[in-house]
Amino acid sequence: MEKFKVSLVSLGCAKNLVDAEVMLGHLPLDRYEIVLDDSQADIIIVNTCSFINDAKEESVDTILEVADFKQEGHCKLLVVTGCLPQRYKEDLAKQLPEVDLFIGIGEVPRLVELIERQLQQGKPSVEVGEPDFLYDHQTPRVNSSPFYSSYIKIAEGCSNYCSYCIIPQLRGGLRSRAIDSVVKEARNLAAQGVKEINLIAQDITAYGMDRADGATIETLLKELVKVEEIDWIRLLYAYPEGVSDELIDLIATEDKICNYLDIPLQHIDDQVLAAMNRRLGEEGIRALLKKLRERIPDLTLRTSFIVGFPGETREQYDKLLEFVKEGHFERVGVFRYSREEGTGAAELPDQVPGQTKRGRLNRLMKAQARVSFNKNRALIGRTETVLVEGYSDETDLLLKGRSARQAPDVDGQFLITSGQADVGELVQLKITDSSEYDLIGEIIEE
């Protein structure tokens, strides 16, 4: 039987990465070989994102780029999966004739069946149904992250229905996994050498609300901390209204739960937040931030904001800018509002011009850069536990790593100027210098 080489390009967020890893896990090794070089692949899979316009453009550009390998490389089959086909279905087949097979989010378990059928029939096809797939601990998965770190998706879909967001239409309502399934996956990963677990969902604080078995993010964490080989458990994408006193206490008291929280706030002005269909206003946000800082020692906070939401006035933007300058956050991501068809906000009047949005984003990022720089400078002289990740991308003379205050891929890193350690090892590092986003330190020999 002929064996095919398969490469996979995954775009978008860590949730999409998990989907891609599950796709790779479904490929039987006696029939498919996973390769990293697209030019050597017989089958190229592009797992797309279409959350905002920039993501859609990146997805289409990537598809067209790898389509060249049908002429220049070995590619016999170009497969596009994920959010883009889920959202646009038949339209894509007309616009991208280079693609042989479009597969929706719910068809992941049928990946091999659909590829095999496509190899036989040859005619381009679209397979997009309901986005109802939810993987569990028994689902095959290839961990493409470094061996010491992994993401676990604890829920799929979302039922918050923020007015700017297309996710509920793309991925359906909230569907949470069983606690037992998540814990078993964590144990499986730990047995493979994983030390850091990053819990992800569109909203991890909503975890379990759709279930009748009492599952909550708090009851899940109480079980996960019992997995002995796991050193760090990180919480990503916690909506502010769902951050309970019990969750705060767990982060503060459980050593394995990183003193790190990613809370997407999106804005601080009450009118803008109401138009976004966000349930917590300025007073509630400020009270939550105060509580978090008081009860969790040495907390690192990440958030995201949207600038240029329809109707956002200069005064409302300036309020957000001043809020950022107050220095509440170690990390901030800023997005220009993207007008997405099918969302409530797309129909709102007073859409903000693109140039205005770009200017507002740049000013907000500059303000946060000063905050981040000052917060990093304040850490000089301290000792941190750092997970060693290998040699620096800039020079092979320096090791790099991350502390519990730095999430993979989105935050800065540690540059290690003195001492030796193995990849995946946890070491003690004294911080000697810093920049806006990175920290510099020396390994303390025990």
Q: Nearest Cα to 18, choosing from 199, 177, 173?
A: 199
Do the Cβ atoms of 170 and 87 come closer than 8 Å? yes
Bridge-based pairing state of the strands 399-403 and 439-443: unpaired
Do the Cβ atoms of 141 and 192 come closer than 8 Å? no
Q: Count CB atoms within 10 A of the CB of residue 2.
A: 6
Confirm whether residue 258 is marked as ligand binding.
no
Q: How far is CA 73 from CA 39, 115, 173, 326, in A?
A: 5, 19, 40, 53
Q: Tell me, rounded to whole angstroms, the distance of Cα 40 from its chain centroid.
A: 28
Do the Cβ atoms of 79 and 36 come closer than 8 Å? no
Q: Count CB atoms within 10 A of the CB of residue 297.
A: 8
Do the Cβ atoms of 310 and 240 come closer than 8 Å? no
d(CA 227, CA 187): 6
Count how many Cα atoms sit within 13 Å of the Cα of residue 387 in the half-sphere of its side chain.
Answer: 21
Q: Tell me, rounded to whole angstroms, the distance of Cα 189 from its chain centroid.
A: 19
Q: Nearest Cα to 329, choosing from 354, 383, 293, 278?
A: 293
Confirm whether residue 75 is marked as ligand binding.
no
Q: How far is CA 108 from CA 201, 274, 366, 388, 421, in A?
A: 18, 36, 41, 34, 39
Confirm whether residue 158 is marked as ligand binding.
yes
Q: Report the helix count and the strand count for the chain, using DSSP H and E.
A: 14, 19
Do the Cβ atoms of 219 and 176 come closer than 8 Å? no
Confirm whether residue 162 is marked as ligand binding.
yes
d(CA 307, CA 352): 9
Do the Cβ atoms of 398 and 418 come closer than 8 Å? no
Q: Is 261 helix (H, G, I), strand (E, B) or coil?
A: strand
Bridge-based pairing state of the strands 383-391 and 399-403: antiparallel
Annotation: binding site for [4Fe-4S] cluster: 13, 49, 83, 158, 162, 165
Annotation: binding site: 13, 49, 83, 158, 162, 165
